[in-house]
Amino acid sequence: MRILGIDPGYATTGFGLVEAEGAGLRLLQYGVVTTPKELPFPQRLEILYDDLTRLVEVTRPDASAVEELFWGHNITTGIGVSHGRGVILLALTKSGVPVFEYTPMQVKQAVVGYGKAEKRQVMDMTRRLLHMERVARPDDAADAIAIALCHARSQSSLLAKLQNTPL
């Protein structure tokens, strides 16, 4: 299964493509989609939509995992990121890719085993699980890889297998 993890944003959106086969995990590709800050906001959203649609066409994921938003102190930024996240969900859905959503705590739990793990712990465990020489950069891409890993590990859990088994 090819899983496209997405760390949503409108200025910078991280992505990570992970292949999961049984217990095996392999990082295929990662990076960021960026939009020029000098453009009007609606045009930035259009670029995000077009670039994400193209990314899906090129990578052909079987599923996508998108992080749910955690509202911090800056509500203005949060609103913009929410708009970007909506565009991302639309692009994935219109491209026919199943969308799964995870909270930051769920990502930490799936990757590190502790829902209140620190960001550096998540990044280091992601590096170890995927046998990477170093942590992916920028952070948005590293976060997206962790989100893809969360989905891979969630889908391979005993509970997920039981839920897919007819009684």
pLDDT in tens, 113-141: 988 899 899 999 999 999 999 999 999 99
- The domain segmentation of the chain, as residue ranges, is 2-163
In this predicted model, what pLDDT tens digit does every residue of 78-106 receive, in sequence order? 788 899 999 999 999 999 999 999 999 99
The correct CATH number of 2-163 out of 3.40.640.10, 3.90.320.10, 3.30.565.10, 3.30.420.10 is: 3.30.420.10
- Per the annotation, the verdict on 139 as an active-site residue is no
Per DSSP, helices labelled H in 95-129 are 104-112, 119-129
Catalytic residue flag (residue 7): yes
Give me the catalytic one of 19, 38, 50, 67: 67
Q: Has 51 been annotated as catalytic?
A: no
Q: What is the pLDDT of residue 166?
A: 53
Q: Tell me what the mean pLDDT of segment 18-33 comes to.
A: 94
How far apart CA 79 and CA 32 sit, in angstroms, is 20
